[in-house]
Amino acid sequence: MKLLLDSVVLIDHFNGVAAATQYLSQVRVDAALSVITRAEVLAGFAGRASRKARRLLDCFPTLSIDQAIADSAAALRRKHGWKLPDAFQAAIARSHRLKLATRDLADFPPRRHRFVVVPYRL
């Protein structure tokens, strides 16, 4: 694994953003997602759409939160003022030595955070 997919990339895919779909197909074997991403994505679906979303999400390993990651997320939240889900994403990526693939430039400017990659822009 090389990448942790942020929720926005998967949400873009489900919203028909071609750049997101292309990116996911390119990185499929190198990417994982967090329990945070899984929950955020699935919260937007019900019924058949939920099953379709799960099928895609199941293609990626899902990384959990343990005590060390929770402690790291708390420290990152204090340091950067991030919302807790963003702090968890960063802590999971850093703990597993992964790049975080996101287009959330407000919270994760790549010049400031070397573990961030911006796969495409809208």
- Do the strands 31-34 and 3-5 form a parallel or antiparallel pair, or are they unpaired? parallel
**pLDDT at res. 1:** 85
Query: What are the extents of the domains in the chain?
Result: 3-64+96-117
Of the chain, the percentage scoring pLDDT greater than 70 comes to 100
- Per-residue pLDDT averaged across 55-72, rounded? 97
CB contact set of 55 (below 8 Å; sequence gap of 6+): none
- Per-residue pLDDT averaged across 97-111, rounded? 95
Q: In a 10 Å sphere around its CB, with 0-12 CB exposed, 13-18 middle and 19+ buried, how is residue 71 labelled?
A: exposed
- Per-residue pLDDT averaged across 39-43, rounded? 97
Q: How many CB atoms lie within 10 A of CB 117?
A: 19
Mean pLDDT, the chain, whole residue set: 96
